[in-house]
Amino acid sequence: MTGRLPGKAVVITGAAGIPRRSRLGDVRAKDMARVHAVNVMGPLLGIRPSR
């Protein structure tokens, strides 16, 4: 398809990751906070309306 479409295209791609592996009993709260910040808060902040 070629041509112009009305409106503005907005795309967000979540491609972040944390390359760390450990057993569940070895996971620290600090590590989980970082995973949450990257995997949950990152996309949330990316999709919210700008002010």
Measured CA distances, 5 to 8, 10, 31, 44 (Å): 8, 13, 44, 27
Has residue 5 got a pLDDT over 70?
no
Q: What percent of the chain has pLDDT over 90?
A: 10
What's the pLDDT tens digit per position in 27-38? Answer: 899 988 888 888
Burial class (CB in 10 A: 0-12, 13-18, 19+), 25: exposed
Has residue 8 got a pLDDT over 60?
yes
Query: What one-letter code names the amino acid at 41?
Result: M
Q: Taking residues 19-25, what's their average pLDDT?
A: 84
pTM score > 0.85 for this model? no
Q: What's phi and psi for 10, nearest 5 deg?
A: -130, 125
Has residue 1 got a pLDDT over 60?
no
Q: Which residues contact 16 (CB under 8 A, 6 or more apart)?
A: 38, 39, 42
What's residue 2's pLDDT?
60
